[in-house]
Structures are given as structure tokens and as C-alpha cells.
Amino acid sequence: MTSLRALLGIAAPAVLLVVVFGLTTRPERAPATLITLLPQMPYVTVAVAAALSLIFHRGRVVFTAIGLGVAYAAFDKFCAGGGTDLPARTVFAALCVLAPAVIALLAWMEERGTANVHMLPRLALVAAACALPMWIMATERAETLEWVYAPLGDVALPIATPIPQLGLAAFAIGFVAVVVAAAVRRSVVTAALAWSLVALAFALHASAELFAFPSAIAAAGAVLALAVLVDANQMAFRDELTGLPGRRALDEALKAIGRRCTIAMIDVDRFKDVNDAHGHQVGDEVLRMVASRLARVGGGGRVFRYGGEEFSVLFSGKDLSDALPHLQALRVDIQRYQMAIRGPDRPARPAAGKRRRGSAPNPKTVSVTVSIGVAARVAPNDSPEAVIAAADEALYRAKQEGRNALRAITSRREWSAIGVRRDKAAVFRGV
Ligand code: GH3
Ligand code: MG
Ligand code: MG
């Protein structure tokens, strides 16, 4: 499900842009109604994107959408007829140079929501990008335009394009900056900004074609709107602290399991002591560490944060014996992992020129263990909740019998005796 969403996030914009390309090069193939509606489509999609961003508090997308709408309106008013006068050349130059710069800056800004003071710098950025070409037009500063349109060097481009070389450089640098921001933040919304840049570059490159600009901007608006929805969906299903799918995602996954399925419940041992000894922040770091080690589980297991310091691993289509070695490996891996923590003798960033030479500082470390309870669906009509209850019972036994252990409910008899007998649980201990 997660990979399907990720695929949608990446592939859908590409498909949209290919459609745009087809529409631009072969408009006679497009349905007549689409062509009739096309001039208004960019306004519709960017308005939808802006509205969704307001609803889901994505301030950067609000401004990107508004900026794309303004870009389209300006292009339509000044450049659409293929004009070469000063206003047309000014708007075209601004779209080639300022637009990618603004989108790249928005991509690197923190997402601070909407309806607060953080909107002001973003608003100022977009307003400045609009005001600059208006000022050039008003003052007829043709020499500034000459500078924008002048070739950067004696470079022979493989394809002819109306985008000046400075604009190509701005798009290239802007695109790399936005893609890096999207990768660093792992953000679908920032990736959509990269697609907006691609769409805008295409719109400008093919601007002589009647349908290029409206269809590319309409696609960019649709991509932004889609990204806001995908992002909102991810937020609902992903745990903020660990990045793992959360409880709601587990509930969804449990609805889709088949006849065979094994579920493990994992609980960090004496985690309260970690919080008490090192503070809540280190506790959070430990949870992130545990989550990242658990996420490496093999055997087709899918890890979820169940809540607090508890995690679940779901093995769909797997028996207990398939899952046990992978769970045992997780327990041992976490037991062995020494996590460095910042103590008073280990500043986050050493002062300039004061890096210690020679022997490396000996950072404080913290290590934790986990207890694991596991159970498999015994009868086809056992509900997922019953399997979780059995895994919970096995976890309880693991805790009772000394922690840092893996216990399983292995038989129907044990299963039906949950809560009554605690003597026959299979013990899987050791490396
Ligand atoms: P046991 O081995 O029996 O599981 O002992 P324990 O201390 O892990 O269990 P207990 O349920 O008493 O304590 C769990 C603690 O986990 C209490 C709670 O403050 C802490 N905790 C839950 N969620 C978070 C979180 O998101 N961050 C941090 N830092 N602590 C959390
Ligand atoms: Mg617990
Ligand atoms: Mg615990």
C-alpha cells in the first residue's frame, strides 16, 4: 500500500506531463471540449491546489499555486500572441529566471503552515518576483533585459529553445536544488515543486505551440493538488516520531491479511528507566533507533509503531516458523546496538578550531533490549485481534520470564488457554 502510494506520487505527474506533451504536439487528437476548456483549466487546477493547501496547511504550495496562476495570466496577457515587445520580453524573462529561483527558495523553506506570520516572507518573495518585472516594464529598462537574454558563453545547445541561457541555468540549478530538498525532507509536496519546475520549463520551451502553456500549467496545478492529498494521506497513516506506519496503517493492513499470518508484538524493556535516566529527548532518539533497526526485518515482515514504546511486525502469508528467525535476529541486533548520546562532554558541534585531536572523545552510549511475543493465525476464522491478543500474551510471558526474550504461542491449546495458563509457552532464547 505504501509503495503503491509512493509510486502514485512519482508516476502520476509523469503521466500527466506526457499527456500534456501529446496534447501540445497533436492537439487535433484531443477531444474538442478539452480544447475549449483549456484556457481556463490552469486557473481551475491551481485554485484547487491552493484551496487544498489551505485546508491542509501547506503554505509553500499555496504560494507556488498562486505564483503559477499569476505566471499563466501574465503569459496569456503579454506573450501569448508571440509578441516581441518589451512587456512580452520582460514577462518571458521573469518566468525563465525568477520563477525557478522562487520555487527553489520555497522548496528549501520550512513548511510553517498557513494563516500565521510565517506566510509573510513567502508572500514577500512572490510579491517581489511579480514587482520586479512590473518595475522593468514601467521604467522600460531594456538594458536589464539585454543582460538576461545575452548568452552566458559560447555554448552550442543541442536543441533550439526560446529560453535564454541564463534561464536554462536557473532551471537547472533550481531543479537540482528542489530535488535535493525533496530527497532530504522525503517530502512528496517538495517533489511536486520539482514537477512544477519541469512543467514550467516545458511550457516556456514550447511556448510557440498554442496549447503548451495552458496544458503544462494545468498539469502543474493538478500535480500540486495531488501531492497535497498524498501528503495528507501519508500524515494520517505514518507515525511522526519514527517515520514508521502507525496504528491506523496496521488496522488497514489487518483487514487485508489472508489465511496465513503471523503477528509479533515488540516492547522496549524498562523504557521508563531510559526516560528517567537520560530525559525524554534521548528516549525519543532511542525509539527512533529501535524503529530503524526493526524496519530492517527480513522475511517479508512489515513493521508498525503500535503506540508508545510498542511495535508490531506483521508477516502476511507466513507461518510462525518462517517469522521466528527474523524476529530473533531483530532482538539480538537491538541488544547489541550501542547508541551514542550527546552528553555535556559531547557538544552537538565542536567550536571552530577546538576540534579534539588524537584520541576520539568517548561518547556516552545507551543500549536497550526488547521483548517479543508472537502468535500465528491458527484457524482461518481467528480474527486479527485474537492473533494480536495471543501475541500480547506471549509478550507478557517474555516480560515475566526475564525480558530480552522471544516467546511464542505455538499451539491451539495454548491459544485457547490465553489468560489462564502461563506455563507452556515455547521459549526462544539465545543468539
Ligand atoms: P517494561 O519492560 O515492563 O515494558 O517496562 P517499561 O518501563 O518499558 O514500561 P512502562 O509501560 O512502565 O513504561 C513505558 C514508558 O514509555 C512510559 C512512557 O513515558 C514512555 N513512552 C511512551 N511513549 C513515548 C515516546 O514517544 N517518547 C518517549 N521518550 N517515551 C515514551
Ligand atoms: Mg509497553
Ligand atoms: Mg516497555
* CATH code, domain carrying 391: 3.30.70.270
Ligand 3 center to 71 CA (angstroms) = 55
Residue given cell 517533489 in the structure block: 191
- pLDDT at site 361: 52
Q: Identify the domain boundary among 182, 215, 236.
A: 236
Q: Give the C-alpha distances (Å, rounded to integers) separating 214 from 95, 135, 198, 204, 330.
A: 14, 26, 14, 11, 53
Residue 353 maps to a domain: no
Of 240, 268, 271, 369, the one to substitute when testing ligand 1's pocket (max ligand atoms within 8 A of C-beta) is 271
Report the pLDDT value the prediction gives residue 118, as an integer from 0 to 100.
76
Q: Are residues 286 and 378 in the same domain?
A: yes
Helix (H) or strand (E) holding 266: strand 261-268
Q: Please indicate whether residue 252 is annotated as part of the active site.
A: no
Look up cell 496544458; give the residue: 215
Which residue range forms the structural domain that includes residue 40?
2-236
Question: What is this structure's pTM?
Answer: 0.72
* Distance (Å, whole) CA 289 – CA 271: 13
Closest ligand 1 atom to the C-alpha of 307?
Answer: 23
| Domain boundary residue, one of 236, 271, 305 | 236
Q: State which of 209, 236, 263 marks the end of a domain.
A: 236
Nearest Cα residue to atom 18 of ligand 1: 272
Which residues are placed with Cβ below 5 angstroms of ligand 3, an ion? 267-268, 271, 309
Question: Does residue 226 share a domain with residue 254?
Answer: no
pLDDT in tens, the chain (431 residues): 445 555 566 677 777 777 777 777 777 777 888 788 888 999 999 999 999 999 998 988 999 999 999 999 999 999 987 778 889 999 999 999 999 999 999 999 877 777 777 778 888 888 999 999 999 889 888 888 888 888 887 777 778 899 999 999 999 999 999 999 988 888 888 999 999 999 999 999 988 888 889 989 999 999 999 999 988 988 889 998 999 999 999 999 998 888 899 999 999 999 999 999 999 999 999 999 999 999 999 999 999 999 999 999 999 999 999 999 999 999 999 999 999 987 544 444 544 444 444 444 556 899 999 999 999 988 888 889 889 999 999 999 999 999 999 999 877 777 766 654 433 444 443 33
Give me the pLDDT at residue 134, please: 92
Please indicate whether residue 414, judged by its CB atom, sits closer than 6 Å to ligand 1.
Answer: no
Q: Both 140 and 168 in a single domain?
A: yes
Give yes or no: residues 181 and 320 share one domain.
Answer: no
* Closest ligand to Cα 272: 1
Assess whether 196 and 295 both reside in one domain: no
C-alpha cell recorded at residue 363: 561518547
Ligand 1 atom with the smallest distance to the CA of 268 is 8
For ligand 3, the distance from its centroid to the CA atom of residue 4, given in whole angstroms, is: 33
403 Cβ below 6 A of ligand 1: yes
Q: Which residues have CB under 8 Å from 265's CB, separation 6+?
A: 306, 310, 311, 312, 372, 373, 374, 388, 391, 392, 394, 395
The finding on whether 398 has its CB within 6 A of some atom of ligand 1 is no
pLDDT reported for residue 153 = 79
The pLDDT value recorded for residue 1 is: 45
Distance from the Cα of residue 137 to its chain's centroid: 40
Binning the chain into helix, strand and coil, the percentages to the nearest 5 are 60, 10, 30
Torsion angle of the four alpha carbons 151, 154, 157, 163, in this order, in degrees rounded to the nearest 10? 0
Indicate whether 214 and 338 sit together in one domain: no
Domain count, the chain: 2
Indicate whether residue 270 lines ligand 1 (CB < 6 A). Answer: yes
pLDDT, residue 317, reads 92
33-48: b (≥16 Cβ within 10 Å) or e:
eebeebbebbbebbeb
Task: Tell me whether residue 349 is in a domain.
Answer: no
Selected catalytic residue, list 110, 143, 309, 401: 309
Same domain membership, residue 57 and residue 24: yes
**CB-ligand 1 contact for 276 (6 Å cutoff):** no
With contact defined as beta carbons under 8 Å apart, do 325 and 299 qualify? Answer: yes
* Confidence (pLDDT) at 19: 77
Taking the CA of residue 281 as reference, the ligand 1 atom at the shortest distance is 29
* Atom in ligand 1 nearest the alpha carbon of residue 308: 23
**Residue 280 near ligand 1, beta carbon < 6 Å:** yes
Which ligand is located closest to the Cα atom of residue 271? 1
At residue 14, the pLDDT reads 73
- Whether residues 209 and 267 share a domain: the answer is no
